[in-house]
Amino acid sequence: MEVNQELVQHLADLSHFALSAEESTRLVRDLGGIVEYISQLDELDTDGIEPTYQVFEMENIWRPDEILPQEADRAALLALTKETLNYQIKVPKVL
Amino acid sequence: MKIADQNTKAVDLVREALDKAHRFQDEYHVFTWINDDAIQAAEEIDARIARGEEVGRLAGVPYALKDNFLSPDGETTASAHILEGFASPVTATAVRRLESEGAIMIGRTNLDAFAHGSSTENSYFGPTKNSKDAQRVAGGSSGGSAVAVALGIVPFATGTDTGGSIRQPASFNGVYGLKPTYGTISRYGVVAMASSTDCVGFFANDPDDIDLLMSICAGQDSHDLTTLPDFYAETEVDDGPKRIGIIKDFDNDAVDPEIRSALKRQIEQLQANGHTIVELDMPALKYALAAYYIIVPAEISSNLSRHDGIRYGFRSEQSDNLGDLYCNTRDEGFMPENKRRIMIGNFVLSSGFYDAYYLKAAKARTLIINEYTKAFEQCDFILAPVSPNPAFELGSKVDDPVAMYLEDVMSVPLNLAGLPGLSIPVGQTASGLDLGLQLVGPRRSDRALLHFAKKLKEEA
- What DSSP assignment string belongs to B278-292? EEE--GGGGGHHHHH
Residue A63 above 90 pLDDT?
Answer: no
Let me know: does B243 contact B379? Beta carbons within 8 Å: yes
Residue pairs between chains A and B whose CB atoms are closer than 8 Å:
164
A60 or B398, which is more confident? B398
Query: What is the amino acid identity at position B128?
Result: T
Asked if this assembly's ipTM is beyond 0.85, the reply is yes
- CA distance linking residue A44 with residue B357, whole number of Å: 12
Annotated catalytic residue B129: no
Residue A61 above 90 pLDDT?
Answer: no
Q: What is the pLDDT of residue B329?
A: 97
C-alpha distances in Å from residue B227, one per residue of B73, B202, B218, B231: 25, 17, 9, 11
Query: What is the amino acid identity at position B426?
Result: V
Q: What is the pLDDT of residue A66?
A: 94
Q: What is the pLDDT of residue B369?
A: 98
Q: What is the pLDDT of residue B318?
A: 81
Residue of B nearest to A51 (CA): B363
Q: What is the pLDDT of residue A57?
A: 78
Catalytic residue among B71, B165, B171, B301: B165
- Do B402 and A33 count as a contact with CB atoms less than 8 A apart? yes
| Strand B31-34 versus strand B104-109 pairing type | antiparallel
- Do B315 and A82 count as a contact with CB atoms less than 8 A apart? yes
- CA distance linking residue B78 with residue B98, whole number of Å: 20
Residue of B nearest to A74 (CA): B89
- CA distance linking residue B151 with residue B432, whole number of Å: 15
Residue A62 above 90 pLDDT?
Answer: no
Catalytic residue among B71, B119, B141, B445: B141
- Estimate to the nearest angstrom the gap between the alpha carbon of B181 and the chain centroid: 13
For chain B, the first-to-last Cα distance in angstroms comes to 21
Let me know: does B202 contact B159? Beta carbons within 8 Å: yes
> How close A94 comes to chain B (CA, Å)?
5
Low-confidence ranges of chain B (pLDDT < 70): none
Angle of the B257-272 helix axis to the B446-459 helix axis, nearest 10: 90
Residue of A nearest to B362 (CA): A51
Global pTM exceeds 0.90: yes
Q: What is the pLDDT of residue A68?
A: 87
Annotated catalytic residue B165: yes
Q: What is the mean pLDDT of residues A52-67?
A: 88
